[in-house]
Structure 1
Amino acid sequence: MNENTSGPPPTGTDLPPGPTRRVALVTGGNRGIGAQIAHQLATHGMTVLVGSRDPAHGAGAVADLRAAGADAHPLVLDVTDPATIDNAAAEIRAGYGRLDVLVNNAGIAGRLDSQAPGLADMDTVRATFETNVFGVIGVTEAMLPLLQRSAGARVVNISSDVGSLGQTTDPDHYMSKIPAGLAYGPSKTALNAVTVQYAKELGPDGILVNAAAPGACDTDFTRGSGLAAPRTAAQGAAVAVRLADLPADGATGGFFGEDGPVRW
């Protein structure tokens, strides 16, 4: 699997030369903001690996991207399944030898009717953290040796404004009006903390790690939640893509939205 082919990645010792394009992996890249991130990264000239739990959904998303001229390839990846994470890392290592951009986009909202303090369902809380926090750590750890082989890797963790303690505790900010919950919001706050720790550790290697707040976008993720979602998925994706394409002297260990830094 190199930039001139559309088939599956090669295996064994007969490997292609290293690709000239930057190689990007987008988890949960088959729909919503993830699909838009994949599309926009491809328009920036990158080879895009579309991570998806469901092979059919991943293949469909890749077909759409290729129809638009993208160099895109499906990758089966469930961020809660260590076996698929390891397999994905092995495929990238065999096909490319490195990873230049990792966008940890896969996430879940959890059951919104079972997150309120006093009524919280612990299975919902655990499942949300399993995907939104532990899944990001698991994928990043597996991909780290590949990122370290890049000349200047970028890691973007898709967070949320609801993960901002500064905004949610500000009585003048609309985020303070969001109903209290013990799963989704806290999981994004934890993800922000994880982002800072990776940034501290990987900065000396030239790897920039940041969290992105796409804003409330009209996707399957927000539909049915009762929350206003005035932004398009493409608008939300642009925040992450900007962070994925930062120059060598770009920011690291930050939390950014469309208008710049977001309060922690």
Structure 2
Amino acid sequence: MGKKEKNEKAKERREKRLQEIQLLRSIPYSHHQRWWSKETIAVVTGGNRGIGFEICRQLATHGLTVVLTSRDASAGAESIKVLQEDGFDVVYHQLDIVDDSSINQFVEWLQESYGGLDILVNNAGVNFNLGSDNSVENAYKVIKTNYYGIKNLTQVLIPLMKPSAVGARIVNTSSRLGRLNGRRNRISNVELRDQLSDLEVLSEELIDRTLSAFLQQVEDGSWTSGGWPQIYTDYSVSKLAVNAYTRLMARKLSERPEGQKIYINCYCPGWVKTALTGFAGNNTVEEGADTGVWLALLHDQTVMGSFFAERREINF
């Protein structure tokens, strides 16, 4: 089978799966499945547009109280207005995930207003490459936002996550571009891949060292021969770090007693038509948000530290 035929077969499988998901989305959750209520608080970062906005809309459709956050307060206010005019229970608070002062103000407000949260969707992220571009000019900002922003916010919000019989939820928006063992776009250093794959070895220090090595090579210009992903390099490395951190946190959070469980997973929304991709994607925002919302609302939550796409677990 030639490359063209393989691509066509893959496209057919993807379209069939998206049709199956569309059907699943049309089936209402049963009373037994609906563990949440209006008192369930879901925080979504980067919620003013694109996938984040659609995640807010879908969660609100299911009757949760959604806290939409964004770095730009005016953009967030406009987004909230649209959702509230449609009758959704959504509130807004400014949040810049790379600004400690902004995080602290948000945490204080969330504690005073709702006493905590039940669901955290880490969706905020940046990408400066469009089309076939692969500049790492903004690598520091990409890594700081897409990885360290998620990590820092998650760590300060975990103590605010409410205990419950079904468990709190953390969903990290990631990407297949950051897969360790994908056939394409993976890091070529086999030893490093093995270390990042091994949960016994994996640590925040290892992730940080990996990112520091990448950024040092960006600074001295040697990154092109450093064995890093070949497309969307800085974005891919940042999402590789998110995936590794998700697995690491799952190991730590699994030790929590019953009633205080926090389930953390990540997912790839696919190549979605949003500003992040220059509107060059092939998935709609509804399709891109679906798996994240599905993970957040799973009733019989048993998976932890896994990677999903189109409601199916995939390999890291």
Pair 20,47 (structure 1): closer, same or farther in 2 beyond 3 Å:
closer
1:15-26 to 2 correspondences below 5 Å = 21-26=39-44
Equivalent position to 1:217, from 272, 276, 281:
272
Equivalent position to 1:100, from 118, 128, 153:
118
Other structure's SS at 1:209 match: strand
Equivalent position to 2:294, from 234, 242, 256:
242
Per-residue deviation, 1:248: 4.5
- Identity across aligned pairs (percent)? 37
Q: Which moved more, 1:131-140 or 1:195-204?
A: 195-204
Per-residue deviation, 1:54: 1.2
1:253-264 to 2 correspondences below 5 Å = 253-264=305-316
Name the CA distance, whole Å, in 2 between partners of 1:234 and 1:218: 10
Name the CA distance, whole Å, in 1 between partners of 2:87 and 2:131: 42
Confirm or deny that 1:155 pairs with 2:170.
Answer: yes
Per-residue deviation, 1:170: 8.2
Name the CA distance, whole Å, in 2 between partners of 1:64 and 1:28: 16
Name the CA distance, whole Å, in 1 between partners of 2:87 and 2:136: 46
Name the CA distance, whole Å, in 1 between partners of 2:139 and 2:183: 19
**Structure 1 alignment gaps of length 5 or more:** 1-18, 172-177
Pair 168,89 (structure 1): closer, same or farther in 2 beyond 3 Å:
farther
Name the CA distance, whole Å, in 2 between partners of 1:218 and 1:114: 16
More helix by share: 2
Other structure's SS at 1:184 match: helix
1:197-212 to 2 correspondences below 5 Å = 197-203=248-254, 204=256, 205-212=260-267
Contact 2:131 2:277 in 1 (8 A): no
Q: Which moved more, 1:161-170 or 1:68-77?
A: 161-170
Name the CA distance, whole Å, in 2 between partners of 1:111 and 1:198: 29
Other structure's SS at 1:183 match: helix
Name the CA distance, whole Å, in 2 between partners of 1:97 and 1:150: 14
**Structure 2 alignment gaps of length 5 or more:** 1-36, 187-228
Q: How many residues align?
A: 233
Aligned alpha-carbon RMSD (Å): 2.3
Which of these two proteins has the greater Rg computed from alpha carbons? 2
1:133-212 to 2 correspondences below 5 Å = 133-149=147-163, 152-169=167-184, 179-203=230-254, 204=256, 205-212=260-267
Relative to the length of structure 1, the TM-score reads 0.82
Equivalent position to 1:86, from 94, 104, 109:
104
Q: Which runs of 4+ in 1 moved over 2 A?
A: 110-116, 148-151, 165-171, 178-182, 247-250
Q: Which moved more, 1:98-107 or 1:248-257?
A: 248-257
Name the CA distance, whole Å, in 2 between partners of 1:113 and 1:35: 23
Deviations 1:22-41 (A, max 9, x none): 10000000100000000001
Name the CA distance, whole Å, in 1 between partners of 2:185 and 2:139: 24
Contact 1:26 1:49 in 2 (8 A): yes
Relative to the length of structure 2, the TM-score reads 0.69
Confirm or deny that 1:132 pairs with 2:132.
Answer: no
Contact 2:129 2:232 in 1 (8 A): no
